[in-house]
Every structure is written in C-alpha cells, then in structure tokens.
A and B are shown apart, each in its own frame.
Chain A
Amino acid sequence: MFRFNEWVIEKLLIVAATVSVVIIALIIFIVFRTGLPLIVDEGVINFLFGMDWRPRAHIFGIFPMVIGSFLVALLAMLISVPLGILTATFLAEVAPDRMRKLLRPVIELLHGIPSVVYGFVGLMLLVPFIRTHLGPPGFSMLAGAVILAIMALPTVITISEDAIKAVPRSYCEASFSLGATHWQTIRHVILPVARSGILAGVVLGSGRAIGETMAAIMVLGNIPAIPDSVLRPIRTLTANIAMEMAYAPHGPHRQALFATGVVLFVAISILVVISNRLRRGQ
C-alpha cells in the first residue's frame, strides 16, 4: 500500500538532511568566487609567500599571517597537548568518582565560554602580566598561545578521553596479570593503543586554534610581521579578515580578505579530513 503522507514526510526529511551540505557548498562557492580571482591575478606564489601586506598600495602578501597562524597554533598545542592528554588519562584511569563529577562540568564550561571572553581575560590578565614580567609590549605570540591552549583544552581532553576509554579492558587486564603497574599499563598499553584517537583530538584542537578569531585579535597585537621571539606581536589569518573587513571598501582589498578566507578554509578542511581519517582508523 502506498501511503502518500509517509512519502511526503520522508522527502521533507531528506531535504532537511541535505541543508548542511547545501550550506557548506554555498560557503565554498561564495568565499571562493570572491577570493579566488584575486589569488589568480596576484599569482598563488606572490599571494601566499609575499612578505608585504599593504592594501592601499594594492600589495597583498599574506606570508606573515600564514606564519603567524601556524606558529601561534603550534605553540598553543605544545602547551595544550601534554596537559590535555594527562588530564584525559587522569579522568579515564585515576580520578576518583567525585573528582570526575567535579571536572566534567568544569571542562564543559571551559568549552562553552565564548572566545571573546577568553580574549578579554587575556587582554586584562595575561597581556599586562607579560608586559611587566617578561617585557613589552605584552601583546604577543605567547599571550595568544596561552589563551588558545586553554581554549583547545576541552577538545583535546574530550576526544583523548573517548579514545582511552575505547581501549578494550582485556588489554589492561593482560598487562596487570603480567605484573605491570597501573602507570606501566597506561604508558605501554593504553596510550599506544589509543594513539590514533588522541591524534585525532590533537589535529582537531589545532584546527580550533588556527580558526580562532576573537581571542587572537585581542591579545596578539595584530602586526603583520614575522616574529623573532615569542614576545613579539603577530597577526593571524583570522585577525587579518576580522580587523579589516569593517572598513575594506568594495574592490581588491575586500577581495584580498576573502582570498585570505580561502587559504584559511583550505587549511582547516585539510585538518578536518586528517582528523576524520584518524578517528576512523582507531
């Protein structure tokens, strides 16, 4: 028996399900359509590796921003990954029930705090601290890295913890029965088995760090130059877009900001694909 109602509903549901694909297609179409012509005109090499960003003179080189995004994300992950993996291990293996119940909402809240609030904390707390104790100007790669590290923590912790919990209990029991201590089991059995899942969390966390805008803008100082120390200000790709979109007139300058978006989008997409592969490989 053919039921018309059921048929209509199923088709409506299919349409709703495809909306997210339509959105991603629209984003790609719109951002690339505006940005790509400029990259082609300037030449990929000139745009990506150009050292000068002088929109008024129509010189668009984003290499300092590429390096800025990369370095600050790398430094953030150097802080976030060890702390995140240790905390995940703590939660999955060592923490007593009460501690776990306390930390879970803490991590959720850290995940939920808006990035503009993180940026604000960085601006009010970290930037002055660095300025007085480590040297001016305070607005620096270090300040950004610390804030981005905290912001990436929940992602790293949650995904690593899932990966650790997915390790079959029998592996641990086998290790214990051979006389291994708990820590030996964690180090030589659990963490190696969970490696690919943990890596997925790390990759996803670095994606978050590279894509972060507000916190970056507020503490990094936003000077488009390649830094010679972690105390120097830098500008990220995201900051480049957010700072200049407000006043960029219609024309090449605005196109160059969309082109910056193209580069950012491609970089993030690569990280998303890698992270998915790793998670499936587990």
Chain B
Amino acid sequence: MISARSSEKVAKLLLWVSGLAVLAILLLIVGFMLIRSIGVINPEFIFGMPTEGGRGGGILPMIVGTLLLILISVLVASPIGIAGGIYLTEYAGTHPLSKIVTFGADWLSGVPSIIFGLFGFAFFVVFLGWGFSILSGGLVIACMILNEIIRTTQEALKTVPASFREASYALGATKWQTISRIVLPSSAPGILTGIILGIGRASGETAAVMLTVGSFMALPTSIFSSVRPMSVHLYLLAIAEVHPGAVERSFGTAVLLILIVLIANFSSHAIMRRFTQPMFHR
C-alpha cells in the first residue's frame, strides 16, 4: 500500500510533468520552425514577387491576399458582431430570441471550416456568381469569426459596472445614449480584443479559403480577383514535390503565419492590460 504522502509526491510530479510537456510541445514546434527558416525571411522574401510557381522569389502577393481577406472579414463581421452582442447583453434579457441566437452562435462555432468552404463555394462563388474571389473568401471568413466577436462583445459589456448605467439614466439619458456614450467606450478594449483574435483566426484560415478564394498567384486588381493567401500557399508548397526552394519558402511562410498570431495574441493582452485595469481603480 502506497502511503498518502508518497502518492501525493508522485501525483504532483505527474502534474508538473504534464504542464512542462505542454510547454515543451510549443517550444518544439516554434523552435523547429525558427531554425529551419533562418535566412529565408528577409526583405526580398516579404516584398518580392514569386518566381517558378512560388519555388523562388518572394511572397508579396500572398501577404497582400491574406491582408485583404483579414480586412474584408473584419470590416463585415465587426459591426454585425458588436451590434449582435449589444442586443444580446443590453436588450434581449430573457427574450426567447436570446436563447435561440446564443445556441445558433454556439452551433456556428462548432461547424468545421471545410463545411464553411462548401457553403461559401455553393453560395458566394456559384449562386451569387462572385467566382473565386477575395470577396467570396472574405465573407466566408466573416461568417466564421462572427461568433467570436459576439461573445467577446458580450463579455466586455458585462464587465461595465451597473452603476455607470444608472448614473447615466439618472441624468436623463436614453437607453441608446447610455450604451453609445457610456457603456461602449468603457468596454471598447475588450471588444477590440475580440476583433484582434478574429484577425488571428482569419490569417490562418485555409480549408474554407481554398474553396472560395482560389489560388491565383498575382497581385489582386479588385475584390473580385482570386488570390493565393499565405495559408493556401503554404499548403500547396508543402504537398508539392520536394524542391529545396519550395521547402525553404514554406518554412518562411509558416513562420510569418505564426508571427501574425503571436502579434495578435500579444497586442490583445497589451490592450487589456493598458486599458481595462485602470477603469476599476478609478
């Protein structure tokens, strides 16, 4: 029979090992990527045009494509998501609509990206006739990040103390005046965090994008142009035949994708630290 004290020691050791294992997994992934991409990421790679079908040269069109997809999806999803979050938190109360919408949003967040791809292909690309384009892809990503923006908006609004609202009502402000001038400004950092996390997700999205944006390797001329986002480029390079130039450039692309996520995570933390805490100490 093992004594309680020694099993305590073994168990704690096991818990520490699992925590450190998670850390090791990340370090392994990031370290491997960094080592293999040394020397690849330079100005010519970031600002150069691709040659030999992406096996040489830079990835400027892919970076532009990814940025445009992020821009469109965030421009479309943010107003709708924020408005939806405001309705659910400030207006809906126990209205049955609130339950339906919350369930719908939960459901939406579980739908795999390839299903969004099928939907986007059949609806935007074929039915609306927009073809493989930045617009089709951007709207599909907007559908995918909508839920995250709704949820972070709701959470941010809930952190605004009731006393703020009561003070505004006591001064004779209407409900919308209170929301637009008191509640929204004080919850803006939290809402911004949701949008930034949406940017992170939009930048790496691949499966849905492949079926709606295509993979055309040139600088876009309009929102109806097909582009090849960095994520799709990485996939196509990685599965193509082994070619030193392609392998090198796929590592470079992968590191840039991780970098975007890293910057997004870091800035959302920075915003939360910078803006939210002082509010409660005021």
Q: Which residues of A contact B (CB under 8 A)?
A: 3, 5-6, 9-10, 12-14, 16-21, 23-24, 26-27, 30-31, 34, 83, 86-87, 89-91, 93-95, 99, 102-103, 105-110, 112-121, 123-125, 150, 153, 157, 181-184, 186-187, 204, 207, 210-214, 217-218, 238, 241-242, 245-246, 257-258, 261, 264-265, 268-269, 271-272, 275-276
Contacts and interface: CB of A to CB of B under 8 A. Distances in A.
Q: Which bracket fits the contact residues of B? A: 35 or more
Given A99-B19, A125-B32, A31 B122 contact: yes
A13 B87 contact: yes
Given A90-B18, A105-B265, A245-B211, 14 more contacts: A5-B176, A17-B101, A23-B146, A110-B26, A112-B197, A114-B257, A124-B32, A124-B238, A183-B4, A183-B7, A211-B110, A211-B112, A213-B114, A276-B106
Nearest to B29: A121
Contacts of A207: 110
B258 interface: yes
The 6 closest A-B pairs by CB, nearest first: A114-B204, A211-B112, A16-B83, A86-B18, A13-B87, A21-B104
Q: Which of B101, B143, B206, B207 has the most CB of A within 10 A?
A: B207
Q: Which of B101, B197, B201 has the most CB of A within 10 A?
A: B101
Contacts of A112: 197, 200-201, 204, 261-262, 264-265
A95 B110 contact: no
Interface in B187-214: 197, 200-201, 203-207, 210-211
Given A16-B87, A112-B264, A121-B29, A6 B206 contact: no
Contacts of B200: 112
A107 B176 CA distance: 38
Contacts of A242: 114, 117, 207, 210-211
Given A211-B110, A242-B210, A12 B83 contact: yes
Contacts of B86: 13
B175 A6 contact: yes
A117 B110 contact: no
22 contacts: A13-B83, A14-B97, A16-B84, A26-B119, A87-B21, A87-B22, A95-B19, A109-B262, A112-B197, A112-B261, A120-B238, A124-B238, A181-B5, A211-B111, A213-B112, A214-B207, A242-B117, A245-B117, A258-B118, A264-B115, A265-B111, A275-B110
Interface of B: 4-5, 7-8, 11-12, 14-16, 18-19, 21-23, 25-26, 29, 32-33, 36, 79-81, 83-84, 86-88, 91-92, 97, 100-101, 103-108, 110-119, 121-123, 127, 143, 146-147, 150, 174-176, 197, 200-201, 203-207, 210-211, 231-232, 234-235, 238-239, 250-251, 254, 257-258, 261-262, 264-265, 269
A272 B110 contact: yes
Contacts of A115: 113, 204, 206-207
Given A119-B235, A157-B22, A204-B110, A31 B83 contact: no
B127 to A, nearest CB: 8
Nearest to A207: B110
Contacts of B197: 112
Nearest to B7: A183
Nearest to B239: A218
Contact of A27 (B8, B79, B119): B119
Contact of B84 (A13, A211, A213): A13
A150 B28 CA distance: 12
Nearest to A179: B4
Contacts of B262: 109, 112
Interface of A is mostly: helix
A124 B242 CA distance: 11
Given A214-B206, A276-B106, A19 B84 contact: yes
Contact of B116 (A3, A27, A86, A105): A27
A83 B22 contact: yes
Contact of B118 (A9, A184, A241): A241
A267 to B, nearest CB: 10
A103 B83 contact: no
Nearest to A35: B118
A106 B231 contact: no
B238 A103 contact: no
Nearest to A265: B115
Contact of B147 (A20, A105, A241): A20
B238 A119 contact: yes
A264 B207 CA distance: 15
Contacts of B33: 117, 121
A7 B86 CA distance: 15
A13 B210 CA distance: 32
A112 B119 CA distance: 24
A27 B91 contact: no
Given A113-B204, A150-B25, A94 B15 contact: yes
